[in-house]
Amino acid sequence: MTAEINGYVSPYPVDPMPEWVAALRDGAEPVWIFAYGSLMWNPEIPFAERRPALLRGYHRSFCLYSRDYRGTPERPGLVLGLDRGGSCRGIAYRLPPDGLGPAIDRVWAREMAGEVYRMRPVTVSTPQARLAAYAFVVRRDRPDYAGRLGAEEVVRIIAVAKGGRGTGRDYLASTVRHLEELGIEDGPLHRLHEQVEALLPQS
């Protein structure tokens, strides 16, 4: 079953949009979206402005099982989510005031497939000012939440995982490379990358 919203096709059913999110489509206030993963370098949404941003209280983490893109149902891989605790450097996107509704529909369809995230209001710090924004954070009550895993198990899973869109190792390496290109430091992710590479046979 697929879902399509404003031209964006999701391979999964998309969570119904609650009334408070739908109300943003017709509001007069700016809508900022905090991006921490692939949304930073492949937003697939129109935006009027973007700024480097720091979100406190959440961190970027390989805390979600992937049973298709980077793994299989029999051997799930891991992908990034935004989990509670710590802090996270990313990008804040201001959605365009003209076409705000379609932009919200599109980001909702992209991020809310699979019932693993919750959109919630947050405050982010940018070089210009603190902003009221929205972030898609992991739902710890979902079966795909894997945040309870130990560090060694995370390394082991990523090192061998492979799914329809490639390996977990490549996903991690691509994430680290894109963060470096954006000038965003993430020490834990860099250390994880080094640990995964060290575990693999050297050619």
Crossing angle, helix 187-199 and helix 168-181, to 10 degrees? 140
Give me the residues of the chain with pLDDT under 70, please. 1-14, 201-203
Specify the DSSP element, H or E, that contains 166.
Answer: strand 166-167
- DSSP for residue 2: -
Beta bridge pairs of residue 163: 166
Residue 28: per-residue pLDDT: 86
Please give the positions annotated as active site: 111
Q: What pTM, to 2 d.p., does this model score? A: 0.87
pLDDT digits (tens, 9 = 90+) for 109-143: 888 877 899 999 999 999 999 999 999 999 999 99
CB 37 within 8 Å of CB 91: no
What are the structural domains of the chain?
3-147 (3.10.490.10)
